[in-house]
Amino acid sequence: MHLFAPLPDRPEFKIDGTDHDDAVLVAWVEGATVEEWLESERTGVVTVSMRVKWWWRRTRRVLR
What predicted TM-score, i.e. pTM, was given to this entire model?
Answer: 0.63
pLDDT per residue as tens digits for the range 1-58: 555 555 556 666 666 777 777 888 888 778 788 888 888 889 998 888 888 888 887 7
What pLDDT is attached to residue 3?
A: 59
| 28, 11 Cβ separation under 8 angstroms | yes
What pLDDT is attached to residue 61?
A: 64
- Which amino acid is present at 30? E
Burial class of residue 6, CB neighbours in 10 A (0-12, 13-18, 19+)? exposed
What pLDDT is attached to residue 43?
A: 92
3-state SS, one letter per residue, for 1-63: CCCCCCCCCCCCCCCCCCHHHHHHHHHHHHCCCHHHHHHHHHHCCCCHHHHHHHHHHHHHHHH
